[in-house]
Amino acid sequence: MEVLLRTSRAGSRGPDALGHSGAAGWKGPESLNHRHTWRSATCQPEQLYSLSTGAMSELSRDAHQIPRSSKACRCLFGPVDSEQLRQDCDALMASCVQEARERWNFDFVTETPLEGDFAWERVRGLGLPKLYLPVGPRDDLGGGKRPSPSSALLQGTSQEDHLDLSLSCTLVTRSPERPEGTPGGPGPSQGRKRRQTSMTDFYHSKRRLICSKRKP
Amino acid sequence: MELLCGEVEPVRRAVPDANLLHDDRVLQNLLTIEERYLPQCSYFKCVQKDIQPYMRRMVATWMLEVCEEQKCEEEVFPLAINYLDRFLAGVPTPKTHLQLLGAVCMFLASKLKETIPLTAEKLCIYTDNSIKPQELLEWELVVLGKLKWNLAAVTPHDFIEHILRKLPQPSEKLSLIRKHAQTFIALCATDFKFAMYPPSMIATGSVGAAICGLQQDEDVSSLTGDALVDLLAKITNTDVDCLKACQEQIEVVLLNSLQQYRQDQGDGSKSEDELDQASTPTDVRDIDL
């Protein structure tokens, strides 16, 4: 009786037995509610077992449930404004695309090369996986516009990424005054490919600096 | 019955690779690259307007609880905090987004480190459904973009085995030292003052603090006091004074969290059951200072 009581109370929290199998996926709140009602109503023997023994550690991760009385399930900073979230997300994604555009002088949305340090040229017949090939017929380089939902995925720091686009780039000029290191993320910056071996030169040790700051 | 048990065996984890752990070049490379992955600035001063230090502590504490409850591998939590700090060092963020951000960072760190990662749905439930899985997935891309997809950050855990291997400890004591050091590392990740420290320093300080703490109970080391600090400092090429300072700070953080724990216990808000679930904090409480 006690077990049944606890199970049905857990129903108010929301779904707590996700990942029965990877194939289930997220089907929206309705499917979860449905599943949950079913669970609450019938109370499976495994549930009784896990409730009575608390044997969570016996289960592998994909059967790993969120304990019913978990106090970790909580909202920390009040309600989240979904609209605000969406706006901020769009703005940040746009800034990511813009950063990539400036960094590689390439417009990843329209797949157009721009003026800059890199000279882009199309590479054909590399036996690329289908995933990377453009969908449908396309104009010549620079003319092809297609919906590019994955534009933000093209932010990788390695130039190899761009081979995947069936475009290759070569470094034409390199201005010596280019600022080193971009804020927010370390990693190889422009034109570093030719000098891969000395990449670490730019990350000279700041250990002493940090130490002196830290001392009381 | 045996068959049934076989079907629910725990998550498989990789065994330690001696080829990597017994090679000094690996340690040297880790020391060389570790500072690439530090947050670029102390963001409460120069970037964030809405987020206060106590809010980072809140979200970090929540993340630690989730990682423990889901029995994530030890590295997941510090790695997620590293993503969080690096993101916040570059992007002004309202406090209402902070928990979503914490969830995204756990999502990414878990995918990078675990064989069976946390699901978006599960993480959303841990926010008490204040965010939707779809939002989490969208923000995953945002965070990836802002981190320049540099996810394989060096964490203090990367150094632990390299350090332990060079200590003259009896091997039967090592697992206890390791466990305590891991607990210290998790504690450090919840506290912003360690965010800009090199991971090797945190690892070395944590091992030092673990040995010192254990030494009061029993004889775990043939080395004591300064000799131990000197040896540790040499292993990770850290300044001795820095290391001492770091170790002291770690011990202060432990003390604070112990006090916090006793307060919580005094409130009687936690049942015995709940306390048993959390693996790491239990270890902390076992340490006798």
Q: Work out the minimum CA distance from A114 to partner chain B, whole angstroms.
A: 21
pTM: 0.69
Inspect the interface and report whether the beta carbons of A64 and B121 lie closer than 8 Å.
Answer: no
Instruction: Please determine, for residue A13, whether its predicted confidence score (pLDDT) is greater than 90.
Output: no
Which residues 60-119 in chain B show a CB within 8 A of chain A? 62, 65-66, 69-71, 86-87, 89-91, 94-100, 114-116, 119
User: Residue B218 has what pLDDT?
Assistant: 62
Inspect the interface and report whether the beta carbons of B274 and A71 lie closer than 8 Å.
Answer: yes
Listed range (A115-119, A128-132, B261-265) with the worst mean pLDDT: A128-132
- Which tens digit of pLDDT belongs to each residue from A32-88? 333 333 333 333 333 333 333 333 333 445 446 777 778 899 999 999 999 999 999
- A32 contacts in chain B (CB < 8 Å): 121
Inspect the interface and report whether the beta carbons of B241 and A93 lie closer than 8 Å.
Answer: no
Inspect the interface and report whether the beta carbons of A152 and B145 lie closer than 8 Å.
Answer: yes
Instruction: Please determine, for residue B196, whether its predicted confidence score (pLDDT) is greater than 90.
Output: yes
Inspect the interface and report whether the beta carbons of A57 and B196 lie closer than 8 Å.
Answer: no
Coil, helix or strand at residue A170: strand
From the list A13, A67, A210, the residue facing B198 with the nearest CB is A210
Residues 6 or more apart whose CB falls under 8 angstroms from that of A12 comprise none
Q: Which helix (H) or strand (E) holds A6?
A: helix A2-10
Q: Work out the minimum CA distance from A201 to partner chain B, whole angstroms.
A: 10
Q: Work out the minimum CA distance from B256 to partner chain A, whole angstroms.
A: 19
Q: What CA–CA distance (Å, rounded) separates A49 from A197?
A: 58
Interface confidence, given as ipTM, is: 0.77
User: Residue B173 has what pLDDT?
Assistant: 86
Q: Domains of chain B (ranges plus CATH)? A: 33-145 (1.10.472.10), 154-264 (1.10.472.10)
Inspect the interface and report whether the beta carbons of A184 and B97 lie closer than 8 Å.
Answer: no
For every residue of chain B, DSSP letters joined together read -HHHHHHTPPPP-PPP-HHHHT-HHHHHHHHHHGGGGS-SS-HHHHT-SS--HHHHHHHHHHHHHHHHHTT--TTHHHHHHHHHHHHHTTS---GGGHHHHHHHHHHHHHHHH-SSPPPHHHHHHHTTTSS-HHHHHHHHHHHHHHTTT------THHHHHHHHHTS---HHHHHHHHHHHHHHHHHHHHSGGGTTS-HHHHHHHHHHHHHHHHHTTS---S--HHHHHHHHHHHTT--HHHHHHHHHHHHHHHHHHHHHHHHHHHHT-S-HHHHHH-HHHHHHHH---
User: Residue B213 has what pLDDT?
Assistant: 87
| Averaged pLDDT score across all residues of chain B | 86
| Averaged pLDDT score across all residues of chain A | 55
User: Residue B252 has what pLDDT?
Assistant: 93
**Buried b or exposed e, range B166-204, using 16+ CB within 10 angstroms:** ebebeeebeebbbebbbbbbbbbbbbbebbbbbbbbbbb
Which residues 155-194 in chain B show a CB within 8 A of chain A? none
Inspect the interface and report whether the beta carbons of A80 and B242 lie closer than 8 Å.
Answer: no
CB pairs under 8 A between A and B: 184
Which residues 120-139 in chain A show a CB within 8 A of chain B? none
Q: Is A96 on the interface with B (CB under 8 A)?
A: yes
High-pLDDT (> 70) share of chain A, %:
29
Inspect the interface and report whether the beta carbons of A73 and B125 lie closer than 8 Å.
Answer: yes
Best B125, B151, B201 residue to mutate vs chain A (most A CBs within 10 Å): B125
Inspect the interface and report whether the beta carbons of A156 and B128 lie closer than 8 Å.
Answer: no
User: Residue A215 has what pLDDT?
Assistant: 39
Q: Is A76 on the interface with B (CB under 8 A)?
A: yes
